[in-house]
């Protein structure tokens, strides 16, 4: 899925334009691009290498503001540059960190699928939204275990990622109902469980995910239907422990209204936020690769599993 | 907007295919078509006239199951046929009833606009959904009174009636924000008021309206934002007083997924209900042409303003 | 079911001991007993007849405090005594009023069954509680219409009226699940609808019914499941319009704990209220023989259908 | 309590400055002032008399915008001026209407007290707010019936009307707890019932009353404590049936912050709304002199008891 | 209370038939039975000893599916078998682990009682359900400290464990009200606090406990009454961190309906789940022997106090 | 702000009478007073020094029961006395601990301000209550960063600490609205965020703060407005992990009602609790100097940052 020959600029553009999408895929693509870039970088000194790699990292970090998987992934490889060791050892450490991240990200999805599948009972009807690798891993794993399940999947305006989801479910032979986004409340009483992914999870367990997730969670809460979020630990946003808010990316108007139509409507402005925020009280469980947790445990994931300390937060790179 | 030359069949097809849409417009078009039909009907006897008109009425009644304005309108003219008077007097009474219904339906929207505009304060931000004549009448009237208002209007998948709404608002010069349906919870905290229309209102004040209305009302309730329904009295569904449920029309799959795509997805089924039901507890006020009422007053509208008695309900025509 | 030969005292005792139970059956038994009593009463003057009948009415009224069907029924026949006409005409008027009440009470149940059955869809799972004639009429009528329905019925401690309910449902061949009262929240997500009866309905739509009804309604509300109350119009409590509270009958301790066990437990007191009160906000619809209404329409039932005026409320008999 | 010698201007000033306060007292004072004014008015013609009385009415109507008792009371006497009869007969009709209004207003409070007292049980703890004649009538009547009750009364910033309330309760010998306004949630679990008055009730049952009422109702709702509103029928606001919002009077800053302090704080603005609005869903019952009703019955009070028809609403005087 | 002479099979049968009941008593009885079994086991080799003990453990584990105290207790002693040391040292280590578990389990209840008693104020009314050692320890300790408390205890259908509870409370001289299960909502407003036990607590703080617990918690939440769960740390279910759901044991129909009655009702099926699940949002505090925690801290109890690591979860024994 | 010359008794009196107020200021003043006291204490032996310092600590601890900052602060310095080292070394260690506490307390407020300011967006309207150093630090820091913010501040009856708050905000040039306490629900829909301080936070995240905080949090929850609590880690109450309830201080009646008025009202009792308790479910985030956490993480703050172990809790001093 990741093309190692893609240049750094191509990867950045691919993320920006949503050719590469999904928080996990974005993270792996960015690390892959940095790895390739590092391998071919003709730096003479360690300082030169560091400076150039930081420029490269900044290019990638600037593409999408909301998905925290991107800075988390970039940081996890970039910190190998800080060691005071010879340039070739740094190159080698960087490469190893990049491969390790990609392997662990892929493994995390499998593990989440294994855990999440246990949460789905034979006969369950599951509602999902957008096209989350981790959420689909749970559904597919349950289906492969022979459980008779059925899915409700949404269209996901304005980019229609729901089409990718129903293709995937159809390929697995899972009976699937396809509905417009605004039909979620109508069908929630037919669902036993909601499973969605996450783009970022804050320190208090709020979940930033594709626009439309919060209305599903609200409707599920109204109908006493459990909501499960499937998310790798690198989706948790460390800077929210310092009070930061998750920035919500607002994408181009043309995704919603063609420019030629918009031009005829001077009093109309398109608002196109790509994500919304589901409060922790509507989320029953977050399934990560280190186990299932309640949303309020997000702080511990950041502290004990991502390994952030307050001091680190104050170093300039991480905030930049 | 109503073409008097349109044949009965054309009108029926126009309603079915949603070329003619909106509960008020459907009601008036149906009455107009019956009026034209009656005028040109070469019936020799009163019985023949009645039989033919009933066939015509049945044709129209079969087009859309949810919108109660249609049977209410048809019934309001058809009952003139029951008098035991000469055929030409019946023809004349029928024509007068038809003109009266159309005039009163148009007048009702104006009156609702007048009442609803008082409910909008200078500086208010109003959220609306779909393309309701009555709801827009309130918004436009408030704007014309010089109040500085702003609107959030939704896309309204799968038929995109939101485009009609934003064109109308743009023509009036009202600043409007256009959003996808699943963004309503994100923006509800910026709204002071929600105003929507209705396709049918049950005896206990539940409101059947375009799919997506109930999620807005739920999000508004969660955020302590008032929800106002603008609806003519012929939107109230008399048979719900006898325990009837409002049938929810499920429209063709192709409105959501092109047939050629659907053909490649054998495990995927499209579910396409055209309406949803908002419970009375999420509706603060219904504005009708006989005044503003709380939703639980629906019974009185049916009994005291539509003039139904329990005995009438048991006559065969009305249930057919 | 009503034994015309049963003496007045036997009927009173039968109601008190719950040999005769269910608000509708109590009402009809009381009127039957008064009718028989009146027929055989050897009164010489109208005043004597009135005095004796009032003593008889008082005997019956003292049996059960909560079920308002009892005073409503008694009042509906007793007011024939107030006319200033010869004794034999009064006797005759009384008899006719008694027969009319019994016929109308029985007819009311049929009509409620007809209305309520429309509210049950093919495939629905219905939860009920206690042994309500009117609620069962809805369920049985839906089943007889060929709808495939399934029922959850509760045990109904401490008198186990649930046994009567499951026998009735079994006789009809309706698939029924029998559960303890405290399992209602566990199974509410499997139910599409709750249908229960009522012993009394207050002016603001609160429903006094068998203990355990309010927890079901609460659990249904939590799970977005609709609650329908099936109740004849004589279940509405007119004196609540004057501020009266519904008295909740507390029945003998021995219904819960055998006296010999209780005797060994000096620090233990049994509390045995026979009814609880479900607030109107948890009730979606009340189905009466004059149509389905929202609970807040109770006042209109009392005013327009029971025909009470404020002046009447102040006459001594009604309050006694 | 009403001084018949007070001039019209003095009464207007007394209402404006809150020397005369409480919706019932304001209504009676205004009618009294008009009655006195009419008696001494040296008008030569009916037209002159009408014009002068309208000026007088306008003077009074301009004093307080929120309390609907004022325009309702004024209208109830002013409409006698519209008859086409000789001046002296109009004078006489006006005087009779004024006396009738005052008698009925006073009688209404007694009747509400009688009804409301039935709603208070022996041993109940009642929370009240501000200094409502009607609410206190219920509490005092229950106490005089020998019920052992206890009251929580609030301070009622910024005008401290709570002092009047605790004096009244103390004079009756009712054990009373006096608390600051922000302690209502702390003590609500010790209360069995909340009883408050109303300044205006909208067509959908929302209750405008002294600032602080809505927080009590919200806390009561959170704690499953019933809220009763005691209000004469002339507190219902007829124009809200035409979409009107209740205007909320904002009173002088100096009631909250002395002018000399405010002068030292240029960046600080005092906001001093005298009333807030409690939504109908937090009100269990409204007790009026024509009986107890649920809040959603407000429309019927306006239509059937105040006698408004839609046509009347469009006459210029009422809206002025 | 535990009979050391009871054979392994007798203990298993005692647990299955609920002769031995209560999560703590079951745990101690199982460990006691294994200890006795190990002492008398004539194994020649360590492998033989291990195999036989695992068979014994499996016999016990198969008795009741929901109560997690059983596998937690068995695991806590069985892991001593894994050491690579001589057979007699393993025997001795096993015995010590068994005695330590029993002592710590008993001590845990005392400690919970001490902590929980502090949470009960003088004058409090406490509602409890079923017959929880830990919950009763809190109540009894508060009473013994001289606090004037009163208890509401439920019947607990279908096994009537409430009788055990009221006997215990009566023996302590604590004033107790005994009510049917479906009366909990009626009396919750008289309670200041709910204290119940737990059979299993999931990683997100949901509490599996005797059927009827969730309705109490729901009613308490509706009435703003705090709910405290008293539970030893071995009640927390470690495998829920891997996505496992708590299996809910469904017990024999005959507990609810005698077989001879059931035989006459072919369309009736008894559903008899022994437990229900209370969501964390209705639980204010869990009191364990290592301190009081909010429910969402369950993960930390499993990780930091039970000492589970993700790797351990994947070893075959624990899942068996 | 802290006067080092103030004697121990003066400090104790200053805290008791609220001359010194605010949980942070109280903590620092107490430590300062102990430091001064220790420096001038003419103790001959370590035991004498310890005994005298404990007496001094007890004097301070007795002043205000609710604010946990006081015992937490006192304990943090008093534990230096327990070392078995020479008296002068103990004196020196005590002095160092005192200076460290004061420096860290002051630094904590700055750090909270830095974190909290990030949570406030340009254009936000913030509601606050009472006069919290930490909450104001967030607001002022956001303002100084150039964000255009506006504040709603309450009066805070009965001690009117709101005056201090509006003076501080005015001095900073922040546009501020000043309202009575009971107007918070009216204005909550104009606020984007609520920020308040805390006097004590329990192990399950409930927040004891100035009376009136819980009604704001409740109104914010009703209106989907986030509530942030700004609190140093020494505000978390360690003994609540052992089941302790936070004692709520009830202050003199004369703060609410002058003694001379109270004397005339024998049936009136003033209830004057100084604090109320906001449940964790209404708090979105707690901002401490070690980062932002959800309320349910309180246990970890007590365990991992205050460094309490269960054993310490059982030592006599801490409970005294």
Query: Measured between CB atoms, does E114 come within 8 Å of chain F?
Result: yes
Query: Measured between CB atoms, does B148 come within 8 Å of chain F?
Result: no
Q: Do residue F115 and residue A243 have CB atoms under 8 angstroms apart?
A: yes
**Dihedral in degrees, nearest 10, Cα atoms F38, F40, F44, F47:** -20
Give how far D149 is from chain F: nearest CA, Å. Answer: 12
What the block records as the tokens of C29 is 């038994």
User: What's the residue count for chain F?
Assistant: 320
Q: Exposure pattern of E55-84 as b/e (b: 16+ CB <10 Å)? A: ebbebbbebbbbbbbbbbbbbbbbbbbeee
Predicted TM-score (pTM) of the model is: 0.93
User: What was the pLDDT predicted at F38?
Assistant: 92
What number is the ipTM of this complex? 0.90
Q: What share of chain C has pLDDT > 70, as a percent?
A: 94
Q: Measured between CB atoms, which of C157, C184, C214 is closest to E180?
A: C157
Give me the residue label for tokens 């004397």. F263
Q: pLDDT per residue over D198-243, tens digit each?
A: 999 999 999 999 999 999 999 999 999 999 999 999 999 999 999 9
Mean pLDDT of C303-310: 74
Chain C positions touching A222 (Cβ under 8 A) are 224
**Contact A/E (≥3 CB pairs under 8 Å):** yes
Q: Quick one: C248 and C270 in the same domain?
A: yes
Average pLDDT, chain F: 92
Among F219, F224, F226, the strongest candidate for a mutation testing the B interface, having the largest count of B CBs within 10 A, is F224
Give how far A222 is from chain B: nearest CA, Å. Answer: 9
| Secondary structure (DSSP) of D111-149 | HHHHHHHHTSPTT-EEEE-S--HHHHHHHHHHHHTT---
**Contact B/D (≥3 CB pairs under 8 Å):** yes
Q: Which of E111, E136, E170 is the last residue of a domain?
A: E111
Q: Measured between CB atoms, which of E205, E243, E244 is closest to A294?
A: E205
Chain F positions touching D179 (Cβ under 8 A) are 256, 270-272
Which residues partner with B292 through β-bridges? B287
In a domain, E319, yes or no: no
Q: Quick one: B13 and B131 in the same domain?
A: no
Q: pLDDT per residue over B167-176, tens digit each?
A: 999 999 999 9
Confidence band, pLDDT 50/70/90 cuts, at residue F320 = very low
CA distance D269 to C221: 43
In a domain, D76, yes or no: yes
Give the count of beta carbons closer than 10 Å to the beta carbon of residue D166.
26
Q: Quick one: F96 and F129 in the same domain?
A: no
User: What was the pLDDT predicted at B315?
Assistant: 44
Chain D positions touching B114 (Cβ under 8 A) are 242-243
Query: Measured between CB atoms, does F168 come within 8 Å of chain D?
Result: no
User: What was the pLDDT predicted at A42?
Assistant: 86
In a domain, A3, yes or no: no
Q: Quick one: D152 and D258 in the same domain?
A: yes
**Closest residue, chain F, to E286 (C-alpha):** F204
- Residue D58 belongs to domain with CATH number: 1.20.120.420
Give how far B283 is from chain C: nearest CA, Å. Answer: 13
Chain B positions touching D304 (Cβ under 8 A) are none
**Closest residue, chain A, to C225 (C-alpha):** A223
Q: Measured between CB atoms, which of D285, D291, D296 is closest to C310?
A: D291
3-state secondary structure of D283: coil
Q: Are F245 and E118 in contact (CB under 8 A)?
A: yes
Q: Which of D111, D128, D150 is the last residue of a domain?
A: D111
User: What was the pLDDT predicted at D310?
Assistant: 60
Confidence band, pLDDT 50/70/90 cuts, at residue B3 = very low
Q: pLDDT per residue over D269-307, tens digit each?
A: 999 999 999 999 999 999 999 999 999 999 999 988 887
In a domain, E2, yes or no: no
Distance from the first to the final alpha carbon of chain D? 29
| Secondary structure (DSSP) of A15-51 | HHTTSS-SHHHHHHHHHHHHHHHHHT---SSHHHHHH
How buried is residue D1: exposed, middle or buried, by Cβ count under 10 Å (0-12/13-18/19+)?
exposed
Number of structural domains found in chain F: 2
Q: Quick one: E75 and E219 in the same domain?
A: no
- Which of D35, D47, D122, D130 is catalytic? The answer is D130
Give how far C68 is from chain E: nearest CA, Å. Answer: 20
Q: Exposure pattern of F89-98 as b/e (b: 16+ CB <10 Å)? A: ebbebbbebb
Mean pLDDT of F45-60: 93
The chains found to touch B (3+ Cβ pairs under 8 angstroms) are A, C, D, F
Give how far B294 is from chain F: nearest CA, Å. Answer: 21
Element (H, E) at C295: none
Query: Which CA distances in Å does A254 have to A272, B178, B298, D3?
Result: 9, 12, 43, 71
Q: Which of A266-270, B171-175, C32-36, E82-86 bottoms out in mean pLDDT, i.e. has the lowest? A: E82-86
Q: Quick one: B143 and B287 in the same domain?
A: yes
User: What was the pLDDT predicted at F319?
Assistant: 39
Q: Do residue D281 and residue B281 have CB atoms under 8 angstroms apart?
A: yes
Pairing of strands B275-278, C125-128: unpaired
Q: Measured between CB atoms, which of B121, B294, B300 is closest to D204?
A: B294
Give how far D258 is from chain C: nearest CA, Å. Answer: 44
Q: Do residue E285 and residue F203 have CB atoms under 8 angstroms apart?
A: yes
In sign, the C-alpha dihedral spanning E159, E163, E166, E167 is negative
CA distance F284 to F280: 8
Give how far C220 is from chain B: nearest CA, Å. Answer: 14
Mean pLDDT of B219-225: 97
- B256, pLDDT greater than 70: yes
Query: Measured between CB atoms, does D224 come within 8 Å of chain F?
Result: no
Give how far D140 is from chain C: nearest CA, Å. Answer: 15
User: What was the pLDDT predicted at B42?
Assistant: 86
User: What was the pLDDT predicted at E43?
Assistant: 85
Confidence band, pLDDT 50/70/90 cuts, at residue E313 = low
CA distance D285 to A160: 49
Give the count of beta carbons closer than 10 Å to the beta carbon of residue E20.
24
Q: Are D201 and D286 in contact (CB under 8 A)?
A: yes
Q: pLDDT per residue over C13-24, tens digit each?
A: 999 998 998 888
In a domain, E13, yes or no: yes
Distance from the first to the final alpha carbon of chain F? 29
Give how far D223 is from chain E: nearest CA, Å. Answer: 5
CA distance F58 to F70: 11
In a domain, D1, yes or no: no
Query: Measured between CB atoms, does A223 come within 8 Å of chain C?
Result: yes
Among A178, A196, A273, the strongest candidate for a mutation testing the B interface, having the largest count of B CBs within 10 A, is A178
CA distance A292 to E266: 43
Q: Which of D111, D128, D148 is the last residue of a domain?
A: D111
- D4, pLDDT greater than 60: no
Average pLDDT, chain E: 92
Mean pLDDT of E16-40: 91
CA distance E178 to C269: 6
What is the span of the domain harbouring residue E82?
8-111
Describe the crossing of helices B23-39 and B87-118 by its angle, rounded to 10 degrees: 160
- E315, pLDDT greater than 50: no
Q: Is A58 a catalytic residue?
A: no
- C3, pLDDT greater than 60: no
Q: Quick one: E125 and E105 in the same domain?
A: no
**Closest residue, chain C, to E272 (C-alpha):** C179
Chain E positions touching D224 (Cβ under 8 A) are 189, 222-224
User: What was the pLDDT predicted at F50?
Assistant: 93
Closest Cα partner for D242 from F218, A38, B289, C271? B289
In a domain, C2, yes or no: no
User: What was the pLDDT predicted at E18?
Assistant: 87
Query: Measured between CB atoms, does E215 come within 8 Å of chain A?
Result: no
Q: Exposure pattern of B68-104 as b/e (b: 16+ CB <10 Å)? A: bbbbbbbbbbbebbeeeeeeeebbebbbebbeebbee
Q: pLDDT per residue over F125-159, tens digit each?
A: 999 999 999 999 999 999 999 999 999 999 999 99
Q: Quick one: F86 and F171 in the same domain?
A: no
Phi, psi (rounded to 5 degrees) for A258: -55, 145
Confidence band, pLDDT 50/70/90 cuts, at residue D6 = low
Chain E positions touching F281 (Cβ under 8 A) are 281
Query: Measured between CB atoms, does B164 come within 8 Å of chain A?
Result: no
Q: Do residue A119 and residue E203 have CB atoms under 8 angstroms apart?
A: no
Q: Quick one: D238 and D153 in the same domain?
A: yes
Q: Measured between CB atoms, which of E204, E300, E310 is closest to A285?
A: E204
Q: Do residue E215 and residue C219 have CB atoms under 8 angstroms apart?
A: yes
Q: Measured between CB atoms, which of B118, B296, B297 is closest to D242?
A: B118
List of residues 6+ apart from E145 with CB closer than 8 A: E117
In a domain, A1, yes or no: no
List of residues 6+ apart from B218 with CB closer than 8 A: A185, A215, A218, A219, A222, B282
- B307, pLDDT greater than 80: no
Confidence band, pLDDT 50/70/90 cuts, at residue E312 = low
**CB contact residues (below 8 A), chain B span 240-299, against chain C:** 240-245, 279-281, 295-296, 298-299
What the block records as the tokens of B6 is 């349109």
**Closest residue, chain E, to C210 (C-alpha):** E182
Chain D positions touching C296 (Cβ under 8 A) are 294-297
**Closest residue, chain A, to E204 (C-alpha):** A294
- Residue F185 belongs to domain with CATH number: 3.40.50.10470
Taking CB atoms within 8 Å and a gap of at least 24, the contacts of F35-40 are F35/F77, F35/F94, F35/F95, F35/F98, F35/F99, F36/F4, F36/F5, F36/F6, F36/F8, F37/F8, F38/F91, F38/F94, F38/F95, F38/F98, F39/F91, F39/F95
User: What's the residue count for chain E?
Assistant: 320
3-state secondary structure of E99: helix
| Average pLDDT of adjacent 10-residue blocks, chain A of 320 residues | 65 91 89 92 90 93 88 91 90 94 92 97 98 97 98 97 98 98 97 97 97 98 98 94 94 96 98 98 96 94 78 46
In sign, the C-alpha dihedral spanning D285, D291, D296, D301 is negative
Q: Are D235 and E200 in contact (CB under 8 A)?
A: no
Average pLDDT, chain D: 92
Q: pLDDT per residue over C137-187, tens digit each?
A: 999 999 999 999 999 999 999 999 999 999 999 999 999 999 999 999 999
Q: Is A199 a catalytic residue?
A: yes
Q: Measured between CB atoms, which of F242, F245, F299 is closest to E294?
A: F299
User: What was the pLDDT predicted at C296?
Assistant: 93
Q: pLDDT per residue over B8-39, tens digit each?
A: 999 999 999 989 988 889 999 999 999 999 99
Asked if the bond preceding E158 is cis, omega within 30° of 0, the reply is: yes
Q: Quick one: E219 and E130 in the same domain?
A: yes
- Which of A35, A130, A138, A284 is catalytic? The answer is A130
Q: Quick one: D127 and D104 in the same domain?
A: no
What the block records as the tokens of F296 is 């349910």
Q: Do residue B292 and residue D245 have CB atoms under 8 angstroms apart?
A: no
Chain F positions touching B222 (Cβ under 8 A) are 224
CA distance C251 to C122: 39
- C122, pLDDT greater than 70: yes
CA distance F84 to E177: 55
User: What was the pLDDT predicted at A7?
Assistant: 83
List of residues 6+ apart from E267 with CB closer than 8 A: C169, C170, C173, C174, C175, C176
What the block records as the tokens of C195 is 């249908």
CA distance F41 to F46: 11
Q: What share of chain D has pLDDT > 90, as a percent?
A: 83
Instruction: Cite the active site residues of B.
Output: 130, 199
User: What was the pLDDT predicted at A119?
Assistant: 96
Q: Quick one: B219 and B296 in the same domain?
A: yes
Confidence band, pLDDT 50/70/90 cuts, at residue D316 = very low
Of the CA atoms within 13 Å of residue D11, those in its CB half-sphere come to 28
Q: Measured between CB atoms, which of A243, A244, A296 is closest to F294?
A: A296
């Amino acid at each position: 899925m990741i093309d190692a020959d893609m240049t750094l600029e191509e990867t950045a553009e691919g993320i920006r334009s949503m050719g590469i999408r999904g928080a996990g895929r974005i993270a792996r693509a960015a690390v892959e691009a940095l790895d390739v870039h590092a391998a071919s970088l003709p730096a003479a000194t360690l300082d030169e290498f560091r400076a150039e790699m930081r420029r490269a990292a900044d290019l990638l970090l600037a593409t999408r503001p909301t998905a925290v998987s991107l800075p988390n992934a970039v940081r996890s490889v970039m910190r190998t540059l800080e060691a005071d060791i010879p340039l070739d050892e740094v190159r080698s450490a960087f490469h190893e960190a990049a491969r390790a991240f990609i392997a662990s990200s892929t493994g995390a999805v499998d593990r989440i699928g294994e855990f999440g599948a246990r949460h789905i009972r034979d006969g369950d009807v599951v509602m999902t939204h957008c096209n989350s690798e981790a959420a689909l891993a749970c559904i597919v794993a349950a289906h492969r275990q022979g459980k008779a399940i059925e899915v409700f999947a949404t269209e996901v305006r304005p980019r229609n990622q729901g089409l990718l989801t129903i293709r995937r479910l159809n390929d697995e032979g899972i009976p699937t109902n396809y509905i417009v986004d605004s039909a979620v409340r109508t069908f929630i009483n037919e669902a036993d469980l909601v499973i969605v992914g996450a783009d970022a999870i804050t320190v208090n367990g709020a979940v930033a995910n594709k626009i439309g997730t919060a209305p599903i969670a609200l409707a599920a809460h109204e109908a006493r239907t459990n909501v499960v979020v499937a998310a790798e630990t690198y989706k948790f946003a460390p800077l929210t422990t310092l009070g930061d808010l998750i920035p919500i990316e607002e994408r181009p108007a043309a995704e919603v209204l063609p420019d030629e139509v918009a031009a005829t409507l001077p009093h109309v402005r398109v608002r196109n936020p790509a994500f919304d925020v589901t409060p922790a009280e509507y989320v029953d469980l977050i399934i990560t690769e280190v186990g299932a947790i309640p949303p309020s445990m997000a702080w511990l994931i950041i502290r004990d599993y991502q390994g952030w300390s307050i001091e680190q937060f104050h170093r300039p790179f991480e905030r930049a």
